[in-house]
Structure 1
Amino acid sequence: MSDTTDILELPLILPAQAQKHVTHNEALLLLDALVQLAVADRDRSAPPALPVAGDRHIVAAGATGLWAGQEGQLAVMTAAGWQFLAPRPGWQAYLLSEARLAVYDGLSWVTPDQTAGSFARLGISATADAVNRLALASPAVLMSHAGAGMQLKLNKASAAETGSLLFQTGWSGRAEMGCTGSDDFAVKVSADGSAWQVALALGAATGIADFPQGLRVAGSPVCSRASLVGTVTQSAGLPTGAVLERGSNASGSWLRLADGTQICWHHGFSVANVSTALGAGFTSPAVSWSYPQSFLAGSAPVVSGLADGVDCWLAAAAPSASSASLRVLSFLSKAGSQALRVMAVGRWI
């Protein structure tokens, strides 16, 4: 039969042993040292200068003096001096200097932050569940670098899955940003957690930014795909409709800008001839061009253009806000018709 116990190696009282109290007291002293184990520290390599009976330490590496060669051992100060106890794997000790628990893993004493721990669920001031396996209730969360940069990674299984940050009010979604249902990055918002509006979309393949709901800058009217090209309107110098308006009819084409500028052009008509004598040259009959869109009343546009014939040029006589009288001039008589290309630039408002 062994003289000690199998686990803590406490001395056993043997049959017919004399002075049994000595063995019994030694076992009690070992229990006193190991039960509810709490040590002062684990980073001391030499004993303190003024130890007190009952002091307990974990001997650090590079031990010297009375602790030499006792690295990793439990050093207990007794009436007889320092006593060293060899830990076994799984022993736990509370570190008073660090206010946390350490476990002996067979080689050294480690705290939870020094081990590769794994938890099926973890709740910090909150209850984790099967879906929210990590749950935290806190006024704030701080994640800082460990000497350089830092990344927060959200990895999804495939492009069709979701990797996003969801912001809620009363457990109902109000804003979400990330890759939802594709690898494009999007920011979307909701007033009720049910109907969502995509405010910003960034194409994964192109990097092009799209604003499906339009864009408003410093209180200015919304700018969207629908409002860029459409019917132009204006109030007090500010656009109230589209930015650009493009159209055409039998009298030509026009481009109207929200700032009040208007451009009209036409190249689908001609004059019959350029054969009427005029001074040292010749002129065509007058032809009237009614603009496809009228200009601002009392503000005639600038009309210019050209005739397709060689040695010909175009002249406009007293253009009005709605039309212009055009003639083709030439130094040579032209019996055939001459095609015209004309343009008028002015203001529509």
Structure 2
Amino acid sequence: MARQEINLGTAPTGAGGDTTRSTGAKINVMTTELYARTDNLTPTAYAALVGSASGGAVFETGTNANGRYIRYADGTQICFGVVARSCAATNALGSLFYGYANSITFSAGFLEAPAFVCQSFSSGVITWDGSGGSTAGIGVPLILSTSSLAARSYTCNYMAIGKWK
């Protein structure tokens, strides 16, 4: 791309410099060339322009029904979300009752099983979260009670950190 010099003229009046129209035309030409060069960049080429992995460049972010995710140029991915679940505690185990809820699907898949934390909240019961993880989600959360319970709603908050590439 040819850089075009804009003649500002002599300070403080700008005498002898480019006219407003001439300046605008030069800016338009240079901007058009810049857009033409960046319109069809691949994600990898774009990442090379906006920052390096050591600089912590954010490569992609997203949101879906399972939560949010952030992907960094160095391959790190963070997924997090708040997911509503329902579970009955009707299976007897000695003097306790337990039940399994549905597993939690991450907001984006990982290359390998990530490190994760999950916390669930429901009044009057103990929740046991994340009985194992995979590249796609967290295993089945467990609800535990001293009495048999019909379906009970609770909220799971999760965060997973791992690699996306």
Structure 1 and Structure 2 fold alike (TM over 0.5): yes
- Whether the 8 Å contact between 1:295 and 1:301 is mirrored in structure 2 is yes
Q: What secondary structure is seen at the aligned counterpart in 2 of 1:266?
A: strand
Aligned in 2, Cα 1:194/1:308: closer, same or farther, shift over 3 Å? closer
How far has the Cα of 1:280 moved from its partner?
A: 5.4
Alignment correspondent of 1:306: 119
CA contact (8 A) 2:61 2:70 kept: yes
- Any unmatched runs of 5+ in structure 2? 1-8, 21-25, 32-37, 39-46
Alignment match, 2:60: 245
Instruction: Establish whether residue 221 from structure 1 lines up as the match of residue 48 from structure 2.
Output: yes
Q: Equivalent of 2:141, from 327, 332, 337?
A: 327
Which TM-score applies when normalising by structure 2? 0.60
Following superposition, the deviation at residue 194 of structure 1 comes to 7.7
Q: Secondary structure at 1:253's aligned position in 2? A: strand
Structure 1 residue aligned with 2:29, among 180, 191, 195?
195
4+ residue runs of structure 1 moved beyond 6 angstroms?
none
Q: TM-score, normalised by structure 1?
A: 0.32
Q: How far apart are the structure 2 equivalents of 1:265 and 1:338?
A: 17
Partner residue, 2:12? 155
Q: Do the aligned partners of 1:315 and 1:328 also contact (CA within 8 Å) in 2? A: yes
The residue aligned with 1:344 is 160
Residue in 2 that maps onto 1:291: 106
Provide the identity percentage: 26
Instruction: Determine if the alignment matches structure 1 residue 265 to structure 2 residue 86.
Output: no
Q: Bigger radius of gyration, 1 or 2?
A: 1
- Partner SS for 1:195: helix
Measured after TM superposition, the shift of residue 294 of structure 1 is 1.0
The structure with higher relative contact order (CA 8 Å, sep 6+) is: 2
Q: Alpha carbons of 1:304 and 1:283: their partners in 2 closer, same or farther (altered >3 Å)?
A: farther
C-alpha change, 1:278 and 1:263, in structure 2 (3 Å) is: farther
- Superposition deviation, residue 300 in structure 1: 0.7
Determine if contact 1:271/1:328 at 8 Å carries over to the other structure: no
How big is the shift at 1:348?
A: 1.0
Q: Aligned partners of 1:238 and 1:316: how far apart in 2?
A: 30
Q: 1:277 to 1:341 in 2, by over 3 A?
A: farther
